[in-house]
Structures are given as C-alpha cells and as structure tokens.
C-alpha cells in the first residue's frame, strides 16, 4: 500500500529523513514512535502531500506519489496527479481543525458533499453512522465550541473516515487534550484498529496505546528506522540499544 524507497528530506540545512526505506502492507496498523524531531510527522505530511521530498520515491497503491510517468519518464507530479493521490489519504492532526461555524454533523457532511459530490441525504446517513461509531450521536447538532476537546477530536476522526480513505494518518491526536480526555479518543482508535480494513499509521507517545493499536511498531531516530516489529517484541524484547534507551525514558 505504501512504499518509501531511499527517501531523503531536508528543511534547509536540517536533514530530517535519511535514505529511508519503509514498506506498509494494505490493512496494516502501524505505530511510529521515537524521540521528538526524528521525522515521524514529516512522513505523515509527505503522504498527505503537505511536504515534498528531496530524493527517492514514495509509492501509494503502486502509483508514484511525488512523481508521475510521462512517456515512460519520471517527472515531478502535476497538481492534478497530487489531487488524485490525496483522495487516498485522510489525516487527523493534533489540533482538531473543525469548521467552527458548522455543527458536528455538518462538519462530517460538508466534505463528502463538496469534495466527493455525495448527495445530502447519503452524506447525512453516513455522518450519523460515523457519529455513532465515535459515540457522539447525541451531540450531532452541537457546534465545536459546545464540545469538549476529546469530543471535537472524535468528530474530526469521523470527518476523516467519511471520505473513505484507503490510508488514515493520526498525528499525536491526543497531545493537545487534557489528560482526562485522552482515553476516550484512544479508545475510538483502538476500536477502529480492530474493526477496520483501512491501512492506518499513528504517531504517538502513548506506549500502552501503541501496544493495543499496532500490528507493527516502527522506532525512529534521526530520520531512519532503527528497529521495527510486533509490539510484544519492540516493547518486551527490543534488539537495539537505542530502542531500549528510548523506552526506558518514556515508560
């Protein structure tokens, strides 16, 4: 579903990704962990086409993301190509980014209608179904300012799911929340991981959550994958010294 091949990415002098190779199977649930600044969010932003790459290739479902083939030559992707590729991917950010002037249900209906051209009644049905999934069917007519941070984030998750993306990206979705609201959001993601076929990548500092959510945990340092494996292996029996040191500090 996703392939990074020899990808490098710098911001000016700062090299954030170094010759990164990463391969994700369809339906896999991945947790990206590692020290701050190791490039985890940059990977999600590249997949969302919010950042370009400096070298290497990224492929999604067998199609180049940042390039396209014209007369069998690889050239930089056009805006049209990027728009098409973007439809594969949904992202939920640290900040909930709901439209403040729309109710919870309208926040979920609008992108379906405007971007995908779905009928209003179909969009409403889907929004109601998803509000139920995130436990907020009672709050459908509330505006964002009438909802807690945890509830707003659950609406944001429902909104991203409404677009039926093949890949869902979650970027530290609980880091802007008060501690007592964290679990209600993580529990929604735990259920999604269990019940959905969608490929999911999450950047998180919540190791208990990563253990429940992920089929595979990737430990990053300085823009490279130091170690990757099933959660039991990474958390109980990490092979690399650097992984052990990181986990000692964080758990």
Distance of alpha carbon 60 from alpha carbon 166, whole angstroms? 10
Binds ligand ADP (CB under 6 A): choice among 24, 29, 31, 40? 40
**Contact with ligand ADP (CB under 6 A) among 2, 24, 31, 38:** 38
The residue (of 125 and 245) whose beta carbon lies closer to ligand ADP is 245
Based on the shown chain and the rule CB under 6 A, indicate whether residue 36 belongs to the binding site for ligand ADP. yes
Q: Interacting stretch for ligand ADP, rule CB under 6 A, among 34-42, 96-104, 148-156, 190-198?
A: 34-42
Beta bridge partners of 203: 32, 171
- In the block, which residue shows the tokens 């926040």? 107
| Cβ contact 90:160 at 8 Å | yes
- Of 167, 146, 166, 159, residue with least CA distance to 109: 159
Residue listed under structure tokens 């984030």: 153
Q: What's the min distance (Å) between Cβ of 13 and ligand ADP?
A: 10
Burial grade of 180 (CB within 10 A; 0-12, 13-18, 19 or more) = exposed
Instruction: Give the pairing of strands 199-203 and 14-24.
Output: unpaired
Q: How far is C-alpha 195 from the chain's CA centre?
A: 17
Identify which of residues 142 and 222 has a Cβ nearer to ligand ADP in the complex. 222
- Sole binder of ligand ADP in the list 2, 4, 7, 16 (CB under 6 A): 16
- List the one residue from 29, 30, 31, 41 that touches ligand ADP (CB under 6 A): 41
Distance separating alpha carbons of residues 34 and 87, to the nearest angstrom: 28
Say how many residues touch ligand ADP, by CB under 6 A.
12
Q: How far is the CB of 9 from ligand ADP (least distance, A)?
A: 9
Q: Do 174 and 122 touch, CB atoms closer than 8 A? A: no
Choose the stretch contacting ligand ADP; rule: CB under 6 A; options: 39-47, 61-69, 72-80, 235-243: 39-47
Q: Is 144 in the site for ligand ADP (CB under 6 A)?
A: no
Is residue 151 near ligand ADP by the rule CB under 6 A? no
Pick the binder of ligand ADP from 39, 150, 165, 238 (CB under 6 A). Answer: 39
Contacts of 80 (CB under 8 A, 6+ apart): none
Residues near ligand ADP, by CB under 6 A = 11, 14, 16, 34, 36-42, 203
């Amino acid at each position: 579903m996703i392939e990074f091949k020899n990808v490098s990415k710098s911001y000016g002098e700062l090299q954030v990704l170094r010759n990164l190779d990463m391969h994700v199977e369809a339906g896999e649930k991945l947790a990206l962990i590692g020290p701050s600044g190791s490039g985890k969010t940059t990977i999600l932003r590249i997949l969302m086409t919010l950042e370009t790459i400096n070298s290497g290739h990224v492929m999604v479902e067998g199609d180049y993301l940042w390039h396209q083939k014209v007369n069998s030559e690889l050239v930089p992707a056009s805006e049209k190509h990027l728009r098409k590729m973007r439809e594969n991917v949904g992202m939920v950010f640290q900040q909930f980014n709901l439209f403040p002037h729309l109710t919870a249900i309208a926040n979920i209906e609008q992108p379906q209608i405007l971007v995908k051209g779905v009928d209003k009644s179909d969009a409403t049905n889907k929004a109601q179904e998803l509000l139920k999934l995130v436990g907020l069917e009672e709050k459908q007519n509330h505006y964002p300012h009438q909802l807690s941070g945890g509830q707003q984030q659950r609406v944001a998750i429902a909104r991203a799911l409404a677009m039926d993306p093949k890949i869902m990206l979650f970027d530290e979705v609980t880091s802007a929340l008060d501690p007592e609201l964290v679990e209600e959001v993580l529990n929604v993601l735990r259920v999604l991981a269990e019940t959905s076929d969608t490929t999911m990548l999450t950047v998180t500092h919540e190791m208990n959550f990563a253990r429940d959510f992920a089929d595979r945990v990737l430990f990053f340092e300085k823009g490279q994958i130091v170690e990757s494996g099933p959660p039991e292996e990474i958390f109980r029996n990490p092979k690399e010294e650097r992984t052990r040191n990181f986990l000692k500090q964080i758990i």
